[in-house]
Structure 1
Amino acid sequence: MSLDTWNGLEAHMFGDGPDLANELLALILEGKKTATCWDAAEGLKGSEVGKSWAVKDGAGVVRCVLQTTELTQRRFSDVDAAFAFAEGEDDRTLASWRRGHESYFTRNGGFAPDMLLNCERFRLVQIVGEGAEQ
């Protein structure tokens, strides 16, 4: 995730490129994605339970505001089916979550089955811009 600010909130872009950022944002707006994770070696990136933050699309435009509801750490190999489902990606199974995230971590600095992850659950607070209720 890349980091910036918007209206006093930290603003993040999911994924490692514009296409993935747009895909993951769409899952959030559809209500399918309510969780995310990242390599714990990158730190907490300002995340804490109760904190709100903005999400940018692939063009860097803020599209929604989320609020962290849970923040835990676990090993990649210990991520369970419920968390994989909450991530909302692919067919939402643990097997597809593992394939997709192993690929993501491999291309972004390294993967190990025992790597420690920050696992965050969130809720959609507000839609901003396109798709927002007027």
Structure 2
Amino acid sequence: MINDFWKRFQKEKPEYTNVEKPQSYHFCDNEKDANECAELVVKGIKQATSSSVWWYDQNNQSFPKSGDLAIVTNWAGEPKAITKVKKVEIVSYRDITPEYAFIEGEGDRSLDYWKKVHWDYYSNEMKDLMMILLRIWKLCVNILKLYG
């Protein structure tokens, strides 16, 4: 399914013919939110995402780089969109801006909404860490471009 999706993309965008299939992923830690976020990407509303730096450290993963492609899936792993990273920054949770919250595209797109849902998500993700109480952890934020 993902291989076919990637091959169709390569046919539509021949400049990617010799590019290896990128990683695929779904958003969030539950089916409802993962599916909603994937649809927001498809609609061009969700144009950014953020992951904790802690997650990258714990999973021994490199940060995304400008130009990286990814295949966004729903919870079931069905491909929905291909994105390209436009920009990557490391930003403190407390320094997320209303503009960033808006382009992340979730809920009512407000900073208050962003902080609430991401506080809940990261609190669960890092539940055993005391630093969560300080609201100072760093996030790797990605500005994305939809590619089909």
Specify if TM > 0.5. yes
Query: How does 1:1-134 map onto structure 2 within 5 Å?
Result: 6=3, 7=6, 8-43=21-56, 45=62, 47-110=64-127, 111=132, 112-126=134-148
75-84 or 40-49, larger mean C-alpha shift: 40-49
Question: CA 1:22–1:109 in structure 2 vs 1: closer, same or farther (change >3 Å)?
Answer: same
Q: Between the two proteins, what is the percent identity of the paired residues?
A: 23
- Which SS does the other structure have where 1:20 is aligned? helix
Instruction: Check 1:25–1:102 CA distance in 2 against 1; reply closer, same or farther (3 A cut).
Output: same
Worse-matched range after superposition: 18-27 or 72-81:
18-27
Residue type of the alignment partner of 1:27 = L
Task: Return the alpha-carbon distance in structure 2 between the equivalents of residues 108 and 20 of structure 1.
Answer: 15
Query: Which one has the bigger helix percentage?
Result: 2
Higher radius of gyration, 1 or 2: 2
Please, which runs of 5 or more residues in structure 1 have no aligned partner? Answer: 127-134
| TM-score normalised over the length of structure 2 | 0.77
CA displacement, residues 4-55 of structure 1 (integer Å, 9 cap, x when unaligned): x855210011111221110101111111100000111222555110111101
Greater CA deviation, 100-109 or 84-93? Answer: 100-109
| Residue 106 of structure 1: how far off its partner (Å) | 1.2
CA contact (8 A) 2:39 2:80 kept: no
Cα pair distance change 1:45/1:63, threshold 3 Å: farther
RMSD: 1.6
Distance 1:57 1:45, change over 3 A: farther
Distance in 1 separating the partners of 2:38 and 2:89: 22
Structure 1 window deviating more from structure 2 (112-121 vs 64-73): it is 112-121
1:37 alignment partner AA: S
Structure 2 counterpart SS, 1:50: coil
The amino acid that maps onto 2:47 is T
Unaligned runs of 5+ in 2: 7-20
